[in-house]
């Protein structure tokens, strides 16, 4: 095996300060695995961390960005029992969150935890899961954050089942995973977007209805009409701000809104009567634990789930990929590490 590797490093906030560097390949210690990275999936959080560190608490340069990767175990340290050389793995988003309630010692990968934008990474064996057999590395790399966030909202906590209605806001990575999972579970889906072309592509993925949010800014009324006045069972809330008010009005009595993104504002606000009278569940979603990711991997194999990849970039094309992330992809953007 070669002795050196490339990795991306950020010494100061700002995309212009990203630099590729060559360093020694690390060695796994006790309980650790060394993974040769094959693909790294980008999340909007990664862009926020690079720009200002606003993608999470205690984020400070220097750092290597990105939390989501797929690769192959090439070496193991002492007392490693979960993996062996040659096995394909994906990272968990939270290092140290195995199951149950979120522990305070858990660390998010990609800052402040180790970043995945490197040719080789060392992870504790508990911070990885076996990759789905049905997905290639590009597809598998999209599961740890975007895929698991949608799974946690709709399946782990939401107990989604056939016959329900799911409202998906936008057409980014989490949104399209939510759409695909809802379709796979027999739910009716309503996608909200400001782009006609993206709405058509969402319909091709199985969306039952599409609402153009620029032509129908009070889209909650359209959701009510499409559900014959009943309202939706689930809403994936991506925007924040006063958009939460619309999400609550779109829900049926006792429905669930999952707070996932704050793309509009870093706080949410809503009138209290819809919440009190509607008896809704408002659930904050901070990705999810390892056990749920393992459940998602099994589901991906069983359902032949095919994550939507908008575009692939070479490892050296991180700045271009971040520009695309700023424009808003349809699905996921992935950097491949060609050998």
Tens of pLDDT, residue by residue over 287-299, are 999 999 999 999 9
Q: Note the pLDDT of residue 38.
A: 98
pLDDT of amino acid 266? 64
Percent of the chain clearing pLDDT 70 (strictly above): 97
Q: Is the pLDDT of residue 57 over 80?
A: no
Paired tokens of 175 = 């949104």
Please report the sign of the dihedral spanned by the C-alpha atoms of residue 13, residue 47, residue 288, residue 338: negative
Which of 58-62, 151-155, 174-178 is least confident?
A: 58-62
Q: Which residue has the higher pLDDT, 313 or 59?
A: 313
Residue 66 pLDDT > 70, yes or no?
yes
Contact by Cβ (8 Å): 297, 106: no
What is the band of 265 on the pLDDT scale with cuts at 50, 70, 90? low
d(CA 280, CA 247): 10
- pLDDT confidence tier of residue 262, bands split at 50, 70 and 90: low
Task: Quickly tell me which residue has 């996932």 as its tokens.
Answer: 260
**273 — pLDDT class (breaks 50, 70, 90):** confident
Flag whether pLDDT at 269 surpasses 80.
no
pLDDT at 264 over 80: no
Indicate the pLDDT class of residue 2, thresholds 50, 70 and 90: confident
- Name every residue whose Cβ is closer than 8 Å to that of residue 229 and which is 6 or more positions away in sequence: none
Q: What is the mean pLDDT of residues 249-260?
A: 96
**pLDDT 10s digits, 237-249:** 998 778 899 999 9
Q: What is the pLDDT of residue 1?
A: 67
Mean predicted lDDT score pLDDT of the chain: 95
User: pLDDT above 90 covers what percent of the chain?
Assistant: 89
Distance in angstroms (rounded) separating the CA atoms of residues 337 and 71:
10
pLDDT at 339: 67
Instruction: Write the burial class of residue 134 (CB in 10 Å: 0-12 exposed, 13-18 middle, 19+ buried).
Output: middle
* Nearest Cα residue to 93 out of 115, 108, 71: 108
Rounded mean pLDDT, 196-200: 98
Whether the pLDDT of residue 131 is over 80: the answer is yes
**Backbone phi and psi for residue 230, each to the nearest 5 degrees, phi listed first:** -75, -40
3-state secondary structure of 281: strand
Of the listed ranges 18-32, 74-88, 229-243, 286-300, the one predicted with least confidence: 229-243
Neighbours of 157 (CB within 10 A): 17
Residue 133 has pLDDT above 60, yes or no: yes
Measured distance CA(235)–CA(238) in Å, rounded: 9
């Amino acid at each position: 095996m070669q002795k050196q590797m490339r990795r991306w490093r950020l010494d100061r906030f700002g995309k212009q300060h990203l630099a590729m560097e060559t360093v020694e390949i690390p060695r796994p210690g006790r309980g650790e695995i060394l993974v040769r990275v094959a693909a790294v999936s980008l999340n909007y959080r990664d862009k926020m961390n690079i720009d200002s560190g606003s993608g999470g608490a205690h984020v400070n340069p220097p750092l290597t960005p990105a939390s989501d990767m797929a690769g192959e175990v090439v070496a193991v340290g002492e007392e490693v029992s979960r993996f062996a050389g040659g096995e394909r793995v994906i990272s968990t988003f939270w290092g140290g969150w195995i199951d149950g309630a979120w522990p305070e010692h858990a660390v998010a990968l990609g800052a402040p935890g180790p970043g995945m934008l490197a040719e080789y990474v060392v992870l504790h064996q508990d911070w990885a899961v076996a990759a789905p057999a049905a997905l290639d590395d590009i597809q598998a790399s999209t599961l740890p954050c975007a895929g698991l966030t949608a799974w946690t909202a709709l399946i782990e906590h939401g107990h989604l089942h056939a016959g329900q209605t799911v409202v998906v806001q936008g057409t980014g990575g989490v949104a399209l995973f939510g759409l695909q999972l809802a379709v796979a579970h027999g739910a009716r889906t309503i996608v909200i977007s400001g782009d006609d072309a993206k709405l058509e592509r969402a319909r091709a993925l199985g969306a039952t209805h599409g609402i153009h949010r620029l032509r129908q800014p009070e889209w909650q009324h359209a959701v009510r009409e499409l559900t014959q006045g009943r309202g939706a069972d689930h809403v994936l809330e991506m925007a924040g701000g006063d958009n939460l008010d619309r999400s609550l009005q779109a829900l049926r009595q006792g429905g669930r809104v999952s707070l996932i993104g704050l793309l509009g504002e870093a706080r949410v606000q809503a009138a209290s009567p819809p919440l009190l009278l509607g008896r809704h569940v408002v659930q904050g979603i901070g990705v999810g634990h390892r056990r749920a990711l393992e459940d998602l991997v099994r589901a991906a194999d069983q359902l032949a789930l095919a994550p939507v990849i908008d575009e692939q970039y070479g490892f050296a094309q991180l700045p271009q990929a971040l520009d695309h992330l700023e424009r808003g992809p349809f699905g996921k953007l992935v950097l491949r590490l060609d050998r």
